[in-house]
Amino acid sequence: DQARALVQRGAVHYRIANFGAALADFDDAFPLLEGRDQMWLGNLLVNRALTRAYLGSLALAEDDLLAARNVYEDLDQRLPVAQCTQNLGWLAVRQGDLPKALRYLDQAEEQFEAIDGNPAEVWVVRVEAMLLAHLTDDAVELAERAADNLAFGGHGAGHAEALIRVAQAALLAGQPARAEVSAREARRRFEEQDRLGWAAHADLLVREARYAAGEATAADRAAAVRLTGRLESAGLATAAATSRVLAAQIALTLGDIQECRRHLKAAARERSEAAVDLRARIWLATAQLRRAEGDRRGALAAVAAGLDVVDEHQAGLGATETRVHAAGHAGHLGVLGVQLAWETQRPKPTLRWMERTRASALRFAPITPPHDADLAAELGELREVERELRTTALSGDGGELEARRSRLELAIRRRTRRLLGPDTAIEAVDVDAVVGALDGRRLIEYAAVDDRLVAISVHEGRARRHDLASVPDTIVALDQLRFGLRRLARPGGSAASRRAARDMVDDAARRLDDLLLAPIGADGEDLVVVPPGRLHAVPW
């Protein structure tokens, strides 16, 4: 009885974030339960694993979860077995081991289905794994499925939180209208549940979605300003600065440069200590402001500074959202850098910015766990601190968590510098070296600038600019070509339908050739083609 009471008290300590006390209770109870009450021992191991994960002891947490699963398997407790497998997937995401996470989540889903259980919580974890792999469109679809499943099962709190995840994933996937609908529904449900902190979090996502869609108004700016005050009062500097940057960006879109500058100046005070994704966003907003003021050189300097921050901290990024948001801000910075360079009408600097953007994007490959055990532990602890900050940001005092995050980021930065050394830095492309390596071939590097498809070509030592076509026209032709090719690849069908598909392919291919290659005058040459993301699907 004493041991069971210790487990229960430890669980309460865990819920109110007294993690040291929780771990002490679990450790005291363990020898009293081992070999005597296996069901309670399994419960202890699960709770101790979650506590250890929060404290950054990820390897020990995994040991506890595996031991708990073995205990439940011996007792033929199939639901707890499935829950342990799900938690192992959740832990693998925090360890940064995406393949292992997906294996555990596959197993968990099969285990839930075998007992007619609800796999929605597995899907929620899988959404996080998908975001790490940058499968944002798939993440949105699965998050919506999980939210619907939780609603059908009567899980009101879980449903509302899943709607938040839908909104976040939709924003990252470039679907702001979908994000706004989900965030508004989440806000309504949180208000019904009297969870006002979460409701405010959902409201911030509504404003983010409206800004991303280009529909933000003065009312959205005022809401962001009000939210900034609430966060500052709670001692949450990072969240407050994020809201303030959003207010600055909305002000800029409304043409109020003075208010944008005022909000941005206040947010910039946090730039040296803020989380990486926020620092990148501050530099992005600074570049946008300088561009609006006509300071192209200053805007390019801000873009470069923002990309430098993300490049420097890439190995030490923590939680999924921090990592994915940093990647998103880096993408926006790169796009803006290419736009500004294109405006100079100088081909070689534009090519350098195209390459700098691509190099930064390559840093965001799906992560794998670091080989250094201390670094792995620090990254795991950082991910949990950031998760807790995002969860409690609008309803509690996060000052201690903010300080802990800053200490961890500094320690990780120092450790990764020692482990990685200077050779991992991203170097600016040497355009002259590229020209020398072409050996008679023509290089064509494409980019999208303000909804126009543009290119820089390099041939026989000369670099040239090409304004080619609208991006939507190009995508329409590409979609038609791929549709026709899929029809031709399927067996069966009448001769007439196959002729129609062949005509469709020929027509779309001619149009793509007219849009992508003919204006460059590259007919009959050996080419080195560097397409942007959407054009990777072209059968070159």
Between CA 350 and CA 370, with CA 315 as vertex, the angle to 5 degrees is 140
Instruction: Give residue-wise pLDDT tens across range 411-430.
Output: 655 555 455 444 444 555 67
Distance CA 432, CA 384 (A): 46
Token pair recorded at residue 87: 């938690």
Could you give the count of Cα atoms lying within 13 Å of 182 in the half-sphere of its Cβ?
A: 29
Q: Which of 442, 435, 432, 434 is nearest to 521 (CA)?
A: 442
pLDDT at 383 over 80: no
Sign of the torsion formed by the C-alpha atoms of 485, 488, 494 and 498:
positive
Q: What is the phi-psi region of residue 179: left when phi exceeds 0, alpha when psi lies from -120 to 50, beta otherwise?
A: alpha
The band of 232, judged by pLDDT with boundaries at 50, 70 and 90, is confident
Q: Calculate mean pLDDT across residues 429-443.
A: 82
Long-range pairs of 435-438 with CB within 8 A, sequence gap ≥ 24: 435/461, 435/463, 438/528
Q: How far apart are CA 133 and CA 131, in angstroms?
A: 5
Asked if 166 and 359 touch (Cβ cutoff 8 Å), the reply is no
DSSP string of 504-538, one letter each residue = HHHHHHHHHHHHHTGGGT-TTS-EEEE--GGGGGS
Q: Look at residues 195, 202, 198, 193 and name the one whose alpha carbon lies nearest to residue 170.
A: 202
Q: What is the pLDDT of residues 31-89, one digit of tens each?
A: 999 889 999 999 999 999 999 888 778 889 999 999 999 999 999 999 999 999 999 99
Distance CA 186, CA 430 (A): 49
Provide the whole-model pTM.
0.73
- Give pLDDT tens digits for 137-183: 888 999 999 999 888 878 888 899 889 889 988 988 889 999 999 99
Question: In which region does residue 56 sit, left (phi positive, over 0), alpha (psi from -120 to 50) or beta (all else)?
Answer: left
| pLDDT average, residue stretch 362-387 | 58
| % pLDDT > 70, the chain | 82
pLDDT on residue 391: 54
| Residues across the chain | 540
Contact call for residues 320 and 128 (beta carbons, < 8 A)? yes
